[in-house]
């Protein structure tokens, strides 16, 4: 399965066009939108639809609410929210949380609980992709002065997904690193293509 993941588009229609072209050119099977599609809920025509020509997964984040994501799901039949949910596609399990960790223990605990609950029904699959908006604690992004989420790091340790797709910290866009057995990919404003 060939996947394109991106986050933090923030209403940038030029970036949407770039991603749309990549989806077609690279024959992508699945698109992952890991949060912050808008800028403070400001709706732009053509912000989501062009990215759903193929099946697409999305999570809410700090710039759009769950209700906005639900509205988009109704508008675009190929789009599905993976927030606090799981999905199996071709023996690959997907699970996620768009909840933002602002550095409080309560945030971290909530994210871990959401990931744990959404992981439960796909836990026996050999291939798994976890989708969050925030990066995990212990990521190289912390060297730039941005703290990661302890709850997401704990989920990596407990559930060992093959990949974690995250964003949120724009300065970390394009950063790919290994944490335990998980390939962590910060796709903030950086369309990233990978296969599983």
CATH classification of the domain holding 65:
3.60.21.10
Tell me what pLDDT residue 105 has: 85
Six-digit token string for 196 = 């599983």
pTM of the model: 0.96
Rounded Cα distance between 159 and 59, Å, is 19
Cα Rg, the chain, nearest whole Å: 15
Tell me what pLDDT residue 133 has: 96
Tell me what pLDDT residue 144 has: 81
Residue ranges making up the domain that contains 28 = 2-195
Tell me what pLDDT residue 5 has: 98
Q: Which of 44, 53, 129, 58 is nearest to 90 (CA)?
A: 129
Tell me what pLDDT residue 125 has: 97
Question: Taking the CB of residue 109, how many other CB atoms lie within 10 A of it?
Answer: 14
With contact defined as beta carbons under 8 Å apart, do 165 and 175 qualify?
no
Low-confidence stretches of the chain (pLDDT beneath 50): none
Count: domains in the chain:
1
Tell me what pLDDT residue 43 has: 78
Rounded Cα distance between 112 and 34, Å, is 17
């Amino acid at each position: 399965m060939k996947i394109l993941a991106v986050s933090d588009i923030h209403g940038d229609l030029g970036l949407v066009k770039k991603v749309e072209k990549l989806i077609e050119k690279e024959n992508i099977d699945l698109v992952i939108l890991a949060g912050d599609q808008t800028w403070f809920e400001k709706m732009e025509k053509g912000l989501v639809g062009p990215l759903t020509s193929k099946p697409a997964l999305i999570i809410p984040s700090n710039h759009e609410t769950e209700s906005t994501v639900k509205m988009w799901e109704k508008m675009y039949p190929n789009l599905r929210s993976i927030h606090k949910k799981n999905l199996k596609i071709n023996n690959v399990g997907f699970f996620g949380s768009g909840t933002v960790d602002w550095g409080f223990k309560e945030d971290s605990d909530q994210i871990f609980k959401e990931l744990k609950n959404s992981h439960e029904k796909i836990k026996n699959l050999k291939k798994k992709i976890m989708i969050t908006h925030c990066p995990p604690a212990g990521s190289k992004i912390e060297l730039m002065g941005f703290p990661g989420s302890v709850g997401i790091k704990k989920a990596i340790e407990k559930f060992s997904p093959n990949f974690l797709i995250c964003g949120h910290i724009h300065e970390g866009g394009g950063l790919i690193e290994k944490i335990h057995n998980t390939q962590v990919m910060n796709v903030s404003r950086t369309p990233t293509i990978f296969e599983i």
